[in-house]
Amino acid sequence: MTSAFREDRSHFEASSPTTSVHGGRGDDGEGAATAPVRQSDDASSTDHVQEKEAAATPLTKKQKFKRHCGRFWWWYLIGAIVLLAILLPIIFLVIIPAIVQRILNDQTMPISGGQFIAVSPTKLNVSILTSLDSPLPARIDPMTLLLYNKDTPTFSPFVNVSLPELHIKGTTPLNIKNQIVTVTNETELISWFANVFDQPTVTLSTRGDPKIHLGALHTNGHLDKTVTVNSLNKLDGFSIQDLQLLMPARENGTNIQGTLNLPNWGTLDLGIGNLSLNLMSGDLRIGLITVYDVYLPRGNNIRYFNGELFLDTLFQNIGTILSTQGDALSGGNIQINATGNATVVNGEHIRFIETILNNRTVTSTTSVVKLASDLISSFTNGSQVSIPDILDEVFGNTTFIQEVLGNWNATKSNSTSTTKKRNLLASIPRSVRGPGALSLFKLGMKMTTGKF
């Protein structure tokens, strides 16, 4: 029993050496037993000191951000990929097109010049000077610009013009120059030209679909602008400047020539070829003149004309004519109206212009003294001749002319026995009869013959 116990004890001692009350493991293992404990205490102390030092020196925001990104960079990478996958389509398909469209909508495209010239019944020579303004440098591909009337319910362009490639940066001039275009809708063109003639200003609408490049990016836009330009305002200021009778008449019947003023108050120059005009006194047609190669830049335009004055109609209807001139003659003037008769380019009638001008009337008011002087100088060429003799030679009826002058003050008679000539004179209003009107006529003759 005893030996067994000892064996067990010795076994216990070998595997588990005794320790002292102070934690020693016996005499032989004291140093070895205590050495590891001391090393562990030193390491713990060092870590504790480092932690205290780290706690005493806080990280900067930049250091914290770098440490944060270093830990979670892959999360941010995934988030950036997802965000770009969402935003890029929105940027390219929504935001950039919206910016470009806003720039197009803000364009004013003021028209500062240009021309519309008829070259055939179906073609026009068109020039337009305008400008585009962009805060971003851009390139625009060649495109077609459609001209139309905005007041027409259905979009119906009347001509199309082509634009070349454009490079826009800031305010950039846009010059469409001398393009021969085909009339695509004559009815709409007539409607627009009618407003050009009748109104002081007219609107011109344009529409196109440009493809715009912003560097490497490109997008499609829609341009639809309406601008206001000055127009003809019924040729306000039209007047016959001078008039000369040709005696004898030329073989083609031409017996009158002179100059007239065709003012253009508009922004666009107009070319309409050879323009024939009816000369009217009231509703009575008393002549036909032609103005050649009519091209009307902005401002007054003095143009030569010639034609035929219907002298037989004029003197056979002297009473009717004088009756329609009552208001004008009371102020010492003669009023001559003109309406369109024909518009011809290269021997072809320009229907869309004739449709407009043949239904419009312009009025010229000329001093009786000046008109009489111009007409009489046609006969005399400044020489001392007898006016009744000239009238007798031209009209073959001196007696009638003398009767007109002698009966200027005649009162209206209801007697059926009154002669036809006296009835014509009696129908003239009192405002155009009397010594004043006769004096004006005599004054014109005296000025021409040098007796005044």
Tell me: do 290 and 314 sit in the same domain: yes
User: Quick check: is 87 in a domain?
Assistant: no
Q: Summarize pLDDT for 42-94 with one digit per residue, the tens.
A: 555 555 555 555 555 787 888 877 887 778 888 888 888 888 888 888 888 88
Last residue of a domain, one of 173, 198, 231: 231
Tell me: do 282 and 369 sit in the same domain: yes
Tell me: do 209 and 154 sit in the same domain: yes
Q: Characterize 133-161 residue by residue with b for buried, 16 or more Cβ atoms within 10 angstroms of its Cβ, and e for exposed.
A: ebeeebebeebebbbbbeebeeeebbbbb
Tell me: do 205 and 242 sit in the same domain: no
Last residue of a domain, one of 182, 200, 231: 231
Tell me: do 240 and 195 sit in the same domain: no
User: Quick check: is 86 in a domain?
Assistant: no
Tell me: do 265 and 319 sit in the same domain: yes
Q: Select from 266, 273, 191 the least CA-distant residue to 234.
A: 266
User: Quick check: is 425 in a domain?
Assistant: yes
Domain total of the chain: 3
Is the omega angle on the peptide bond into residue 248 within 30 degrees of 0, that is, cis? Answer: yes
Tell me: do 257 and 192 sit in the same domain: no
In Å, how far are 60, 121, 143, 170 from 103, measured between CA atoms? 46, 38, 17, 12
Helices (H) and strands (E) in the chain, counts: 14, 17
What is the distance between the alpha carbons of residues 311 and 317, in angstroms, rounded to a whole number? 10
Q: Which one-letter DSSP state was computed for residue 431?
A: G
User: Quick check: is 126 in a domain?
Assistant: yes
Looking up tokens 């003109």 gives: 338
Q: Summarize pLDDT for 400-415 with one digit per residue, the tens.
A: 444 444 444 443 344 3
What domain range includes position 179?
Answer: 107-231
Contacts of 398 (CB under 8 A, 6+ apart): 388, 389, 391, 392
Amino acid occupying residue 41: D
Tell me: do 239 and 318 sit in the same domain: yes
Q: In the chain, which residues have pLDDT < 70?
A: 1-56, 378-452
Tell me: do 242 and 311 sit in the same domain: yes
Give the distance, in angstroms, between the CA of residue 36 and the centroid of all CA atoms in the same chain. Answer: 100
Residue 52 has a pLDDT of 57
Residue 398 has a pLDDT of 44
Last residue of a domain, one of 231, 247, 282: 231
Question: Strand pairing partners for 174?
Answer: 130
User: Quick check: is 300 in a domain?
Assistant: yes
Residue 389 has a pLDDT of 52
Dmax (CA) for the chain in angstroms is 192
Question: Tokens representing 316?
Answer: 């056979």
Tell me: do 349 and 413 sit in the same domain: no
**Could you tell me if 263 and 236 are in contact, meaning their C-beta atoms sit under 8 angstroms apart?**
yes
Residue 352 has a pLDDT of 94
Instruction: Decide: pTM greater than 0.75.
Output: no
Tell me: do 290 and 385 sit in the same domain: no
User: Quick check: is 72 in a domain?
Assistant: no
Residue 419 has a pLDDT of 43
The CATH number covering residue 120 comes to 2.60.40
User: Quick check: is 30 in a domain?
Assistant: no
Tell me: do 278 and 210 sit in the same domain: no
What is the distance between the alpha carbons of residues 443 and 160, in angstroms, rounded to a whole number? 58
User: Quick check: is 82 in a domain?
Assistant: no
